[in-house]
Structures are given as C-alpha cells and as structure tokens.
C-alpha cells in the first residue's frame, strides 16, 4: 500500500509540474523595431568576431531575402547601415569593394539574409516578423568567424525587390544562392564555409556588377558582365540567365531575348519545374492591364510550349495566389488561373492538348507569405509548370 501511494505521488507531481518531466519550449524571441534589430545583430557580429589580425579587409556579398534570394529596398538599406556602422564604430574592419581583385586577397566576407517568419515558429502561420541573420566568412581560414541574429517587427519594412529582381520573369532554386543562404543560416561559429558558396565568389562579384549596371540602366555593360560570368567555371547560374534575358530585352535585341528566355525554359524543364511570374488582376483570371508588363507574355508562353514539346515533356500547370481572401475562394481562383494559362498554351500549340493538366494550390505554398499583393510578394502569385509523367 505504501509503494502504491509513492507511485501515485510521483505521477501527481509530474502532472502538477510539467517541467519536472518534460523540456519546456523556449519562448519566442521578442521582435524589436527594424533599425534596433539590425544594430543588435551587427554589434554582436563585429564585437565577437574571432579574428587575430589588427586590420581586417572586409567585403559585403550583398544581403538577400532568405527565401526568394532577391535583393530588396530593405536589404540594400541594411547594407548601407552596416557600412556606416563599420566606419563609425569598428575601424578594425577596412571596407573594400566586392570584386575579383579584393577576393584574391582572401578577405573576410559579410553575408546576410532577411527572412519573413512566423515568430512563434508556426510554419503555416502568418509571417509576422523578420529574422535577420548575419555572418562573417574568413576566406583565409575557410571558416565562419562570427554570427549575429535578431528579430525585427514588420512595421516600416519595405521588402520591394530591386528592379533586377522585380523584372525577372521567373524564379527557381539556384544551388549557388542556396549555398549562400545555407552558409549564413545553417552554420555555427567555427564551421567551414560551404565550398559551393566559396568556389563561386568571383562569379558572384561579376553578377553583382551586372545587377548594378542593369539597375543603373547601363544595359550593354550589364550584358557584358553576364556574358563574362557565363564563360567562367561556376557561371552557369540562374541569375546569369536572367540577366542576359533582361539586358537583351532592354536593348531591343528581340532574337537574343527569345533565345535567352528559351535558355531559362530549358534549364527549368531540366530541373522539372518552372516558376513564372504571370501577374493577374486581383480576384480575376485576366492578366493585369499593364502592357509594359504583359507584352512579353505571348513569347514566354510560346517558348514554354515549344521547348516542352521538343523535350517530349508533359506539364502540370499549377496556379498560386497570395494570402489575401478566403482559402476556398483562393483555391478555386488558382485553378481557374492555371486553366486560363493552359488554354492560352493550347491555343498557340494545339498539338499539346492531352499533354497538360491544370491544378491550383491557393496560398498553401506561398514563398513570401506577407499577403501585400504588390511587387514584394509577386512570387506568391506565380504560375508553375511542373514536368510530369505522360
């Protein structure tokens, strides 16, 4: 009887005090205003850097969105703030341009991501905060020598993509940008730098030059950088293909633009997936009424149909919507948009009938997930073309 009482007492104690038997979930981080969050992450990064040298050459590989890998108004402002902070408070670090010449001297590279998240960790919940991740990668030691993280409130944050990323016709997972994100987010102090990132840094510097020239409307110079990058080992990248298409389009080189877009399509079909930004009017299956945006759509769709036929590929056309609106309405709308695109493809290529199906995901597979319905979350309103068995 005494043994039974002791067992009952122990069970009661566990029920009354869960911490005695189970590990408690740590509380969610507390987001702070954007500027304060960046300051906190940056001070941790620079003050705790494990470096022996008194003077350290530092370059910034431009900060990116942690999901789309795009540069935005916010990532650009973060980068400028970091440069100003280093000049004011951390003179040990000597800022240098992100160039092949500087990289040849094996500097320390600052990388960073800015990612919309659900602060409580609910993968399906609304993204109500931004996670800042900063890292210092020492190219000489080939390891991560410092990290800094913080959570920012969404108020006052502008994640509108810069013009290169806004104008990009499609998106795909790119091994190089994924290696950048992994090096920032999935490492701890002392970890080696991901070789897939380090080995392509010279190409990344050329791509960055091309992006800056494109955004300055220097399209010939931009195209030259992309072509140079493409010829180098590791230059066969999605960002290079995008840049070649955009610059050729701006220069009015229609044949080159068609060929460059076809190259994008072939690359996507080889990976069994194309994610194309076809922008629709809100709540509608009609494209937005902006000829400057929609003018190339017929060429895009023609290239997708032609290249898929050449490869003998069958396609599942998948519509997506942003989080705005009711789930059931969005699911139906996403199917109707996919059906509309499929009809356009089959009108231009009647022999493709029977080789395509249309489906929709609503907002269940959002990439950005902020529901702003503007340029910042255009990827959430994409149309996917997935290669499927025939």
Cβ–Cβ under 8 Å, residues 172 and 275:
yes
**So what's the pLDDT on residue 7?**
43
Of all residues in the chain, the percent with pLDDT exceeding 70 is 94
Q: What is the mean pLDDT of the chain?
A: 90
Mean pLDDT of 361-367: 84
Mean pLDDT of 365-384: 78
pLDDT in tens, 244-255: 999 999 999 999
Dist. CA 37–CA 74, nearest whole Å: 13
**So what's the pLDDT on residue 24?**
64
**So what's the pLDDT on residue 359?**
95
pLDDT in tens, 171-196: 888 899 999 999 999 999 999 999 99
**Which token pair is 77?**
């402002």
Q: Is the pLDDT of residue 166 over 50?
A: yes
pTM across the whole model: 0.87
* Confidence grade of residue 23 (pLDDT, cut at 50, 70, 90): low
pLDDT in tens, 130-155: 999 999 999 999 999 999 999 999 99
**So what's the pLDDT on residue 25?**
64
Mean pLDDT of 114-140: 92
Closest-CA residue to 63 (of 54, 76, 52): 76
Q: Is the pLDDT of residue 71 over 70?
A: yes
Of all residues in the chain, the percent with pLDDT exceeding 90 is 71
More confident residue, 298 or 20: 298
* Confidence grade of residue 170 (pLDDT, cut at 50, 70, 90): very high
Give the position of tokens 């929709």.
Answer: 360
pLDDT in tens, 3-14: 444 444 444 444
More confident residue, 54 or 373: 54
DSSP 8-state code for residue 72: B
* Confidence grade of residue 353 (pLDDT, cut at 50, 70, 90): confident
Cβ–Cβ under 8 Å, residues 210 and 222:
yes
Strand 314-319's sheet: what is its strand order?
170-171, 273-276, 383-388, 314-319, 356-360
pLDDT in tens, 31-66: 999 999 999 999 999 999 999 999 999 999 999 999
HSE at residue 376, side-chain half, CA atoms within 13 A, is 17
Q: Is the pLDDT of residue 307 over 60?
A: yes
**So what's the pLDDT on residue 4?**
44
């Amino acid at each position: 009887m005494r043994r039974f009482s002791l067992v009952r007492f122990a069970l009661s104690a566990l029920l009354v005090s869960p911490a005695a038997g189970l590990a408690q979930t740590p509380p969610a981080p507390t987001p702070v205003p954007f500027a304060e969050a960046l300051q906190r992450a940056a001070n941790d990064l620079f003050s705790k850097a494990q470096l022996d040298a008194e003077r350290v050459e530092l370059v910034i590989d431009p900060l990116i969105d942690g999901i789309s890998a795009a540069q935005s108004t916010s990532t650009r402002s973060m980068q400028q703030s970091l440069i100003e902070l280093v000049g004011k408070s951390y003179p040990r670090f000597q800022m240098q341009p992100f160039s092949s010449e500087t990289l040849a001297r094996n500097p320390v590279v600052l990388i960073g991501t800015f990612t919309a998240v659900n602060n409580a960790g609910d993968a399906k919940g609304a993204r109500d905060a931004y996670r800042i991740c900063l890292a210092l990668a020492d190219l000489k030691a080939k390891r991560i020598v410092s990290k800094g993280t913080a959570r920012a409130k969404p108020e006052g944050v502008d994640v509108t993509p810069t013009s290169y990323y806004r104008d990009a016709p499609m998106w795909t997972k790119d091994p190089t940008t994924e290696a950048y994100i992994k090096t920032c987010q999935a490492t701890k102090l002392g970890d080696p730098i991901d070789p897939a990132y380090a080995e392509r840094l010279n190409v990344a510097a050329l791509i960055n030059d091309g992006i800056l020239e494109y955004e300055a409307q220097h399209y010939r110079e931009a195209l030259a950088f992309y072509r140079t990058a493409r010829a180098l080992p590791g230059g066969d990248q999605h960002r290079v293909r995008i840049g070649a298409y955009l610059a050729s389009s701006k220069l009015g080189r229609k044949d080159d633009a068609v060929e460059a877009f076809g190259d994008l399509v072939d690359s996507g079909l080889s990976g069994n997936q194309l994610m194309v930004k076809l922008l629709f009017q809100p709540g509608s299956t009609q494209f937005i009424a902006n000829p400057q945006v929609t003018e190339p759509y017929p060429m895009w769709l023609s290239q997708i149909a032609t290249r898929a036929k050449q490869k003998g590929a069958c396609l599942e056309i998948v519509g997506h919507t942003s989080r705005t609106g009711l789930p059931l309405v969005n699911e139906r709308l996403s199917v109707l948009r996919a059906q509309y695109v499929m009809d356009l493809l089959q009108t231009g290529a009647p022999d493709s009938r029977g080789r395509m199906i249309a489906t929709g995901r609503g907002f269940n597979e959002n990439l950005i997930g902020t529901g702003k319905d503007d340029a910042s979350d255009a990827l959430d309103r994409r149309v996917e073309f997935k290669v499927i068995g025939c």
